Chain A
Amino acid sequence: MESQRGSSTTLKTWSVLLFFLALKAAGNSWMAWGMKQIPERMSMDPALYMRAMLNPFVAMGIVALILALLTRMALLSLADLSYVLPVTAIGYVIAVFLGKVFLHEAVTPQRWMGTLLIFGGAVLVGTTSRNTTE
């Protein structure tokens, strides 16, 4: 009974994690795709950002990224931050992959190496213990 509950929580955690990664990846890609269609360069003028949000891809990106934020909160209620931080760091690698495949960006070996270093570093930072106030 206990192990059944444990495996159900694990399954739920993995489902929420995959949902979060999918939302984040889709949100970032839609946002990048939509923003590249906006002719005016973004500056300090808030009206430019409001107009950009009328682009359907930018709007979809914003919705997906807000949902990703809420999903991450739900994930934090199921798992520790020391688990969530390293596993979600794979998002950096996914973003570069999507940039190359769907947005046709030129990704040099140096950028891949940098991304993998960031992933490894984020895993190391994320797996250190929390609540270490002196």
Chain B
Amino acid sequence: MKWVLVAAMVSATVLSDLLQSQEMKRAGEQSVGARGLARLLQTIAQRRQLILAVGCNAVSFFTFMALVQREPLSFAVPASAASYVVETILAKFVLHERIGARRTAGALAVLAGVVLVGG
């Protein structure tokens, strides 16, 4: 069950990040002041993909709640790093980013770490 929850949490996080990354590039640079935050909220409300991203974030958060109820925190938090691996793969094939040797090595180290943490 713990890996089902990790997979659900990581999938929701990755989907949210991908949607945000794609849509925020189209929306342009945003600032984080009081006025900037208001504009950011307006941008989210106007773009269906960003609303979906917020929904995915909520799913990820509730799955994290279920995960820490069943499993130790020392497993739940490091296991969430599996999103680095999935994001790296999707960044290559969905966002068509160039993935260098350094990033590949990093993603593989995270993958090995998640396997060790869950063992």
Binding site for B on A (CB under 8 A): 28-29, 31-32, 35-36, 38, 41-43, 49, 52, 58, 65, 73-74, 76-77, 91-92, 95-96, 98-100, 103, 105-107, 110-111, 113-128, 132-134
- Per a CB cutoff under 8 Å, which of B77, B84, B102, B105 touches A96? B77
CB-nearest residue of chain A to B97: A132
Q: Does B98 contact A (CB under 8 A)?
A: yes
Further pairs besides A91-B77, A96-B73: 5, Cβ < 8 Å = A31-B64, A35-B68, A77-B31, A110-B119, A121-B106
Give 9 pairs: A residue, B residue, CB < 8 Å, sorted on A: A31-B64, A32-B76, A92-B77, A95-B73, A99-B73, A113-B116, A114-B118, A121-B107, A132-B100
Contact B103 A128 (CB under 8 A): yes
Contact B74 A105 (CB under 8 A): yes
Q: Using a Cβ–Cβ cut-off of 8 Å, how many residues does chain B contribute to the interface with A?
A: 43
Q: Taking A125-B110, A133-B95 as contacts, is the C-beta distance between A49 and B74 under 8 angstroms?
A: no
Which of A32, A58, A96 gathers the greatest number of chain B CB atoms within 10 Å?
A32
Q: Does B114 contact A (CB under 8 A)?
A: yes
Interface of A is mostly: helix
Q: Taking A31-B68, A41-B69, A115-B78 as contacts, is the C-beta distance between A125 and B113 under 8 angstroms?
A: no
Contact A127 B74 (CB under 8 A): no
